[in-house]
Copies of this chain bind each other. A is one copy, B any other.
Amino acid sequence: MSNSFFEYPMKNRKLRMGMVGGGPGAFIGNVHRIAARLDGQIELVCGAFSSDPLKSVEAGKSLFLSENRVYGSYEEMILKEKNLPENERMDFISIVTPNHVHFGPAKMALENGFDVVCDKPLSFSLEEAVELKKIVEETGRLFCLTHNYTGYPMVRQAKAMVNAGVLGEIRKVVVEYPQGWLSTFLENEGQKQAAWRTDPSRSGKAGCIGDIGTHAENLAEFITGLEIDELAADLTTFVAGRKLDDDGTVLLRFKGGAKGVLMASQISVGEENNLKIRIYGEKAGLEWLQTEPNSLLVKHLDKPMETYRAGGNNGYLFGESTSASRLPAGHPEGYLEAFANLYREFAQVMRLKSEGLPFAINFPTVEDGLRGMKFINAVVASSEKNAAWVKM
C-alpha cells in the first residue's frame, strides 16, 4: 500500500491552499478541505469563503486562519496573496462555489500565476469552458477538475485493466447515477443545496444531467479511454415547478463502435449516490459501484466471477490501484480518500513540476471539464429535439 508519507520528500514544506467558497452551509467546501488536509501535504492558509464578509470571517475563525488571510472576495484574495512574500503566499486556489462562480476565480487565478483546483462541472456554459481551456494552455498552469470518483482505487484498477487489454475490445458501457433526494420540490423548502442546483441562473442549462450526469460521463470515458461520439437523450422534469431536468436517459455511441447507456436521476426515490458502471468487452466485463467502492467485480466467459478488493497489500492489483490505497484490504476507504487522492496527486505534480522533474497527470483536467460541458450541451440539444442523435 502507499506508504504516503515517504513519497513527497521533494520540498520541506506543505503546499499552501487558498479557498473560494465553502462558507457556512456549504457541503462540498468541507469535503475539499478534508481531502486537501488528509495526506498532510497541503495546508489551508487563506480563503474567500462567502460573498457575505461576516460569514467568511466566521468560517476563517473556525478554520484557525489568521484574520488577515480571510478575504471578502476572490478578487481581493488573489491580488493580496500575489503580493505576499513567496514563502508565505498561497500556492494554488481551490474553487468550491456553485457553477456560475467557477470561471471568474479560475481565470483570474491562472492569469495571476496560481494553479487551480476546481469543482465540477467546469463552468456555467460551454463558452466559458472553451475559454478556460485556452487560458490553461496559455498560462501553463496546472488545473485539476475534481471528478472525485476517478480517485477510487478500484476505478484506477478498472482503467488499468482496460488498458492492459483484459477485456478485449469494449462493446458495451452501462453507467448510471441514481439519486432520490430531489423526489419532492425541495428547492421550495429553503434547502440551500437543492436551491442552487435547480436554478438555471446558478447551475447552467442542465440540472440532474449537469450535476451528476457529468460524473457518469466522465467515469465512463476515464475508465474505458473511449470517447462518446454521439448521443440521444430524453430528459424529464418530474417534479412540478422545477426549472431544470431531474431525470435523464442517454443512448451513447462511442468512437470505434462501442455502445452504451447513461442514466442520471434525482427522483429515483430511496437511492443515495449509487453511481455504478458496467463495462463489457469481448473477453471480460467489469462492474463497480460507488456505495461499495472497495470491490471491483470481474466477469469472465468461462470461469467464475472474481471480486477484486482494494488494498495497498493486494499483490494482484495494478500499481495504479495500490498506490491509491492507504490501508490493507478489508479496512474500507471511501469518498473522502478518493477525493484526497486527487489533491495528493495534484500536490505531487506541483512539486515535481516546480523542481523541473518529469511527471504524469492522473487527475482530471480542464480537458475533462470541457468534455463535460460538451456533454451537457449535446444532451440538452438532443432532448430538445425529441432525442435525436447529436454529436458530442
Contacts and interface: CB of A to CB of B under 8 A. Distances in A.
Contacts of A180: 280, 285, 299, 301
Interface string A234-251: 101010000000010101
Contacts of A336: 38, 326-327, 333, 336-337
Contacts of A236: 259
A268 B291 contact: no
A65 to B, nearest CB: 10
A273 B299 CA distance: 14
Contacts of A330: 179, 271-274, 290-291
Q: Assembly of this chain: how many copies? A: 4
Interface residues of A, number: 96
Contacts of A179: 330
Q: By DSSP majority rule, is chain A's interface helix, strand, loop, or mixed?
A: loop
B12 A64 contact: yes
Nearest to A34: B38
Contacts of A61: 9, 12
A63 interface: yes
Nearest to A330: B272
B33 A5 contact: yes
Given A308-B304, A316-B302, A331 B327 contact: no
A68 interface: no
**Top 10 A-B residue pairs of the complex, sorted by shortest distance between their CB atoms:** A270-B299, A272-B330, A273-B330, A332-B334, A331-B335, A304-B306, A334-B334, A270-B285, A272-B329, A305-B307
